[in-house]
A and B are shown apart, each in its own frame.
Chain A
Amino acid sequence: MTGNLRIWPIVLLLGIVSAPLIIMYVFQVIESVAQPQPGTLMPGEINLHNWRFLWQELDRGRPSIWTATFNTFIFATTIALAVCALSSTAGYALSRLNLPGRPYFLGGLIILHAFPTITLIIAIFIVLQYLGLFDTLLGVILVKAALELPFGIWIMKGFYDTVPWEIEMAGVQDGASRFRVWWELVLPQVKPGLAALGIISFLQGWSEFVLPLVLAPGSETQVLATYMYSVIQDDAKLDFGLFKAIGMFYSLPVILVYLIFQKQLMNIYGGGTKG
């Protein structure tokens, strides 16, 4: 921002501390298509051998990557939609509507927001089992969406808080119901927030690992996280080239989303979610 300060020492310092990450990124990209000699960092021959998982089975007894990709996509989009839908209504109720016990809901929300959910996974398993949803995508989607809800409601409430009251007043005075006012006047005002929440929920769903691992162990319900983990853990081979190519494939949507929605993402994470 200012002219009288030298920049290069800062850049140098930042460059040094960022070096591990930069190295990881660079080699992640290079080695996904390279065949380096063991013990060297030279890329060697460039080809698509590492990407063979896309057109052939890695080994028998493993679902195809396309099943996993499809599942992950369904998983992430459904979660995003569910979180958006439920948060936009609940957030509005907490922000604007005359609700019995509203302060308690708000306090409860904050407690939930910081709750050790993952340690409750045994109990969550039982709930799913009683609902008959164990080992189904729908089951994990419900759980993941529910766990994301407090954050979503929180964010949406924040957005509704910034919408001027005058807009609603005007609507109500015109004789519209509160529901119509919300749907036609208020909701459009918070569209950017809803979009950002959708993106984040999508990313959270896309990355989720432990929940599908425990709650949906069947081959029909594998997602990319569990697929990639089991390829890495397979102790018959250590093939970083292959792992990296799968990782690249898995991360591409994330990087695309980041490039497109950079600004919104940075801002909404300011609200804080995972640590």
Chain B
Amino acid sequence: MSSRWLGVGFLAPALVAVLFFFLLPVVMTVMFSFTNMTTATGITGGEYLLSKSRLRQLEAEGVSEETVERLESAGYQITEQGLAALAEEFGEDRADELREDYMGESFTARRDLERVLRNLNDDPIRRTRDRKAAADLFAVTILDERFPTEPAFRDALTESGIDPADHDALVKTAYTGWTWTTDNFKLLFELPATLRYAMNTAIYVVFTLAFNVGFGLFLAISTFYLPQHLANTFRTIWFLPRILPPVMYVLMWKWFTWDTGFISTVLSVFGVTPINWMTESALNAWTVVVLINGFVGASLGMILFSSAIKAIPLSMLYASEVDGAYRWDQIRYIILPQLRWPVLFMTSYQTLSLLTSFEYILLSTEGGPGGSTTTWALAAYTTALRNYGGNLEYGFGAAYALVLVIIGIILSVLYLRFFNFKELVAKPRIEQ
């Protein structure tokens, strides 16, 4: 019994973290993907605002002409009620002067009324902010005023004498926040770009993975045949990309490939014009992207496979050599069969992480040239959070992300069934 409670207690902090930063975000991503949330709608919900440009849409929404006219022309009016408020806050004298000269008059724009207040003979209101406040006391119009809630907005409509039949349409148009929609998924299916991103992702995953596994195997097997110190040197060389900060690691690649960098400098000796080898063509960009990721991924293969090879009993290898087996045969018949499971594990594991990673692409080609290296995950990020115009489409970006979430869950469930659960659980172990 006590061990059960201890278990719950021990697990609880981790569960809270998982809840807040995995489960909750997943649920929210599902929600967002069914909204039209963008920069303009904001994330946290909207207010109710009738602006000039919204008035123009009203007739298309079926609002009567009379209502539009009324909303448009309301403006500011000098009334006793307003004057009383003015007298209270800005003094009787000012109110009197205004009453004398302007009683009953209307102003379409607040600025016109402000000019009057600025030019009062006796005691003009000097501070701009005070003038605005004073002018607002005479507001009849509800244009350009933000109402935090729907009831407040409806009340204001009623107060302004707007035909109740038009209220619903007005509420709908005036709302500045996001609404529910399935357009994101419609768009996802309709846009040819979707297919391109999917293809790019396939290219990225397949080639990087092939490089990781193939090169990881090569490194693991070749270093296995080397004396200890040599093997360690090469392992260090290939291990560093994994732990170096990505910003720094990609910088080295930029230096290596850019027009002022290593390749161009060396080739210019042979009369080749310096070019940016990273972004010169789509093929170049893909090569560099695959290598940047591959050099990082290969080290994982190298380590995994090396430890699997080490687990092969030496006697088996010696025996094969006594039999006069060539090195190639030894690799083929003894070593490779041993690596079947690690290779499968690495393939499935890295498929998932490659599908969702975009950091190295963002840092190197930024998805270019001409969008040719934009993968699905990068598209999700740029759609939702990073583009030149600052037009952040959270809803559409979430739809992209949701697709990845679904693929991720399906794949990992499949892996769970495919791999022996126990074996997976027993896998990560540190030898001491």
Report if A and B touch in the complex (beta carbons < 8 A).
yes
CB–CB B353/A146 < 8 A: no
Contact of B377 with A by CB under 8 A: yes
Given A10-B226, A18-B237, A97-B7, verify A119-B428 contact (CB < 8 Å): no
B385 lies within 8 A of A214 (CB): yes
Q: Which of B355-369 contact A (CB under 8 A)?
A: 355-359, 362-363
Whether a CB of chain B sits under 8 angstroms from the CB of A99 is yes
Q: Which of B148-164 contact A (CB under 8 A)?
A: none
Chain A binding surface SS class? helix
A86 at the interface (CB under 8 A from B): yes
CB within 8 A of A274: which of B11, B240, B353? B353
Q: Which of A106-131 contact B (CB under 8 A)?
A: 106-107, 110-124, 126-127, 131
In the complex formed, the residue of B with least CB distance to A191 is B432
Complex CA distance for A264 and B430, rounded to whole angstroms: 8
Partner of A258, one of B225, B240, B248, B295: B240
Are A143 and B14 in touch, CB under 8 angstroms? no
Q: Considering the chains assembled together, what is the distance between the CA atoms of A237 and B328 in angstroms?
A: 52
Residue A268 is within 8 A (CB to CB) of chain B in the complex: yes
A147 within 8 A of B: yes
Chain B proximity of A157: nearest CB distance (Å):
7
Chain B residues whose CB sits within 8 angstroms of the CB of A31 once the complex forms = 255
Residues of B within 8 A of A116 (CB): 352, 355-356, 377, 401, 404-405, 408
Instruction: For residue B338, give the distance in angstroms from its CB to the closest CB of chain A.
Output: 15
Contacts of B212 in A (CB 8 A): 275
A73 on interface, CB distance cutoff 8 Å: no
Annotate B376-412 by CB proximity to A: 1 below 8 A, 0 otherwise.
0100110011000000001001101100110011011
* Residues of chain A contacted by B268 (CB below 8 angstroms): 39
- Tell me the bound Cα distance from A251 to B432 in angstroms: 27
A210 cross-chain contacts in B, Cβ below 8 A: 359, 362
Known contacts A90-B10, A115-B22, A127-B25; is-contact A254 B245 (Cβ 8 Å): yes
Q: Range of interface residues on chain A?
A: 35 or more
Of the candidates A90, A240, A244, A268, which one forms a contact with B11 in the assembled complex, judged by CB atoms under 8 Å apart? A90
Asked whether B245 lies within 8 Å of A14 as measured between CB atoms, the reply is no
Cα–Cα distance between A86 and B12 once the two chains are bound (Å): 9
Q: Which of these binds chain B: A22-30, A49-57, A59-67?
A: A22-30
Q: Does B2 contact A (CB under 8 A)?
A: yes
Most buried by B among A40, A86, A142, A254: A86
* Chain B nearest CB, measured from A107 CB (Å): 6
Which of chain A's residues have a CB closer than 8 A to the CB of B234?
14, 18
Chain A positions within 8 Å of B424 at CB level: 110
Residue in A17, A114, A155, A269 whose CB lies within 8 Å of B303: A269
A205-249 CB mask vs B (1 if < 8 Å, else 0) is 011011000100000000011001100100000101001100100
A274 closest partner in B (C-beta):
B353
Q: Are B238 and A18 in contact (CB under 8 A)?
A: yes
A13 touches B255 (CB 8 A): no
Q: Which of A85, A113, A275 contacts B297 (CB 8 A)?
A: A275
Collect the chain A residues with CB atoms within 8 Å of residue B108's CB.
none
* A2 located at the interface, meaning its Cβ lies under 8 Å from any Cβ of chain B in the complex: yes
Interface contact B252-A143, CB-CB below 8 Å? no
Closest chain A residue, CB of each to CB of B366: A233
Scoring A100, A127, A196 by chain B CB atoms within 10 A of each residue's CB, the highest score goes to A127
Residues in A neighbouring B346, C-beta threshold 8 A: 272
Q: Which of A113, A177, A243 contacts B2 (CB 8 A)?
A: A177
B405 pairs with A119, CB closer than 8 A: yes
Given the known inter-chain contacts A1-B225, A121-B385, A123-B29, please indicate yes or no for A100 contacting B412, CB distance below 8 A: no
Asked if A22 meets B237 with Cβ closer than 8 Å, knowing A5-B225, A159-B430, A206-B245, the reply is: yes
**B26 CB-CB contact with A under 8 Å:** yes
Partner of A112, one of B22, B29, B411: B22
Given contacts A10-B226, A179-B6, are A142 and B14 in contact (CB under 8 A)? no
Whether B317 and A100, one on each chain, are in contact in the complex, defined by CB atoms closer than 8 angstroms, is: no
Which residues in chain A, 159-194, are within 8 Å of chain B measured between CB atoms? 159, 161-162, 177-179, 182, 192-193
Q: Known contacts A27-B262, A114-B408, A209-B363; can you find 13 more A-B pairs with CB under 8 A?
A: A24-B252, A118-B357, A119-B400, A124-B25, A126-B28, A142-B20, A142-B21, A149-B18, A214-B385, A225-B247, A265-B239, A266-B239, A270-B307
Q: Which 7 A-B pairs have the closest CB atoms?
A: A271-B428, A275-B353, A97-B7, A116-B356, A123-B25, A146-B21, A90-B14
